[in-house]
Amino acid sequence: MTTAALPYRVTPARVLRSEWHKLRTLRSTWINLAVTSLLTAAMGAGLGAAYDGSGEGGMDPVMFALLGTQFATINLGVLGILATAGEYSTGQIRATMTAVPRRLPVLWSKAAVLTAIALPLTLATNLVTFPLAQSFLDGTDLSAALGDPGVLRALAGNAAGLTLLAVLALAIGALLRSVPTAIGAHIGLIMILPEILAMLPYDAVDNAVRYFPGKALEALTTAQPMPGAATPGSALLALLVWTGTTLAVAAWVLRRRDV
């Protein structure tokens, strides 16, 4: 009896394979990823082609080329939310948790699968988008090369930041268990709340805002640190703390709430 049951034992590798199968077999996953890459590259090329070389904005060349990653912030966030909250909306979560009664391996596997997809995709997109944008910017004040100081670090930092934001969204989805609510909370945290807080006339609030997820991503996307922004190292640490803490809270709730 014991020998016969062994092939059906729940293991981390099998949970991971199950979550990978669920994500990769959805057509919406690949549409989302394709649109994310295309929008990023198209916006980088379009902005490069439209730039008149005036240099009035003083924009960092990497930040300028990757302005299209604003779409990636939303698209990858939605993908992460659908991986968790989407299962609650369809009721599939009951079958998932029945198959994996310990529950937490499901959350870790979802986060690992999303990371394995988002990180190489965003890094490859950045490595294509930057030279594409630079092909139009040659001879302007925003002209730069991959080998210039800070450029490769900024391209990789942006990819790491976007991946962490996607996992943060996944954790928010696991916490809120509602796709619309989680999307609203994700966009509010990344794009709206920091702008509102920045209007308050308090230095302490100003200092705190620079470590919010969206601002940390901006700091990671510049070849040269911006005045008043977090350093790339502290920005990455801040994103790790935001994501890790939210995942930990989601795990705690998952263990204690009914599905």
In a domain, 1, yes or no: no
Residue 172 has pLDDT above 70, yes or no: yes
Distance (Å, whole) CA 111 – CA 211: 22
Residue 245 has pLDDT above 90, yes or no: yes
Q: What is the mean pLDDT of residues 4-11?
A: 64
In a domain, 252, yes or no: yes
Do residues 129 and 44 lie in contact, with contact meaning Cβ atoms separated by under 8 Å?
yes
In a domain, 100, yes or no: yes
Give the range with max mean pLDDT: 39-53, 134-148, 236-250.
Answer: 236-250
- Give residue 56's pLDDT: 56
DSSP H/E element including 249:
helix 232-256
- Give residue 91's pLDDT: 83
In a domain, 219, yes or no: yes
Q: How many domains does the chain have?
A: 1
Residue 139 has pLDDT above 70, yes or no: yes
Closest CA to 49 of 57, 41, 60: 41
Residue 159 has pLDDT above 50, yes or no: yes
Q: Give the pLDDT confidence of 174-229 residue by residue, as tens digits.
A: 999 999 999 999 999 999 999 999 888 888 888 899 999 999 999 999 998 888 88
Distance (Å, whole) CA 102 – CA 110: 14
Closest CA to 256 of 99, 106, 103, 89: 103
Confidence class for position 250, pLDDT limits 50, 70, 90: very high
Confidence class for position 133, pLDDT limits 50, 70, 90: very high
Residue 73 has pLDDT above 60, yes or no: yes
Do residues 169 and 217 lie in contact, with contact meaning Cβ atoms separated by under 8 Å?
no
Distance (Å, whole) CA 79 – CA 123: 17
Residue 2 has pLDDT above 50, yes or no: no
In a domain, 4, yes or no: no
- Give residue 52's pLDDT: 80
In a domain, 5, yes or no: no
**Residue 100 phi/psi, 5° resolution?**
-125, 80
In a domain, 240, yes or no: yes
| Domain with 96 in it | 10-49+56-256
Do residues 219 and 230 lie in contact, with contact meaning Cβ atoms separated by under 8 Å?
yes
Do residues 132 and 45 lie in contact, with contact meaning Cβ atoms separated by under 8 Å?
yes
Q: Say how many CA atoms lie within 13 Å of 188 toward its Cβ.
A: 7
Do residues 239 and 213 lie in contact, with contact meaning Cβ atoms separated by under 8 Å?
yes
Do residues 246 and 175 lie in contact, with contact meaning Cβ atoms separated by under 8 Å?
yes
In a domain, 3, yes or no: no
